[in-house]
Chains A and B, each alone.
Chain A
């Protein structure tokens, strides 16, 4: 099992504010980095699969960047809305399965 770390563990954001958080992963033998969003009482939903150093992906107000050389990825939420409240998980593949970080739980206050 690989060490995938996410920080912070949780954060509270005022509606309309932007925020970001980090995923750290092993920088050697990089293949891909996955991001998922897990809302309460729902199933985890794939956001991005990132494969190239310097890659930037965007989905609505959510975007992610990737630095494979130093082993980190940032996920950004611009203009947070209550519906963005969820746990955001990053995952690193090893042996064709994913090792998940513990997640960053985002709570957006109206």
Chain B
């Protein structure tokens, strides 16, 4: 597609429920990143995928968070047993390749509210 697509755009869930957030990156972009922004905080790195390499999961805040990327394209971020502190805007981004000089193209994000 023309840009990075994320769904849903908004999600309200009850505490303790599982949620899945989806990201469809730009075709041909081999690197895919997940970030989140909690209220009053900056962008926090969660996880990134590069091609067929093992993902860098160093930013995942707990083992309730997991992500996968199928076929080098679509990615799903799963949060199990959601907590109120998981409320945030979750942003997905892709870039042409892994590299420090490649800019990111961001999706419009998923606003997650845990009640």
Contacts and interface: CB of A to CB of B under 8 A. Distances in A.
Interface of A: 1, 31-32, 34, 36, 42-46, 49, 51, 89, 91, 93, 95-103
A102 B43 CA distance: 7
A103 B42 contact: yes
Contacts of B41: 102
Interface string B17-59: 0000000000000010101000001110100101000001011
Contacts of B42: 89, 100-103
A3 to B, nearest CB: 11
A46 B108 CA distance: 13
A16 B100 CA distance: 35
What is the predominant secondary structure among interface residues of chain B facing chain A?
Answer: loop
Interface residues of B, number: 27
14 contacts: A31-B100, A32-B100, A34-B104, A36-B106, A43-B91, A43-B107, A43-B109, A49-B101, A89-B43, A95-B58, A96-B31, A97-B33, A97-B59, A100-B42
A32 B101 contact: yes
Contact of B43 (A42, A49, A100): A100
B105 interface: yes
B11 interface: no
A96 B50 contact: yes
Contacts of B45: 1, 97-99
Interface in B99-115: 99-109
B105 A97 contact: no
Contacts of B93: 44
Contacts of B48: 96-97
A43 B106 contact: yes
A19 B96 CA distance: 32
Nearest to B97: A96
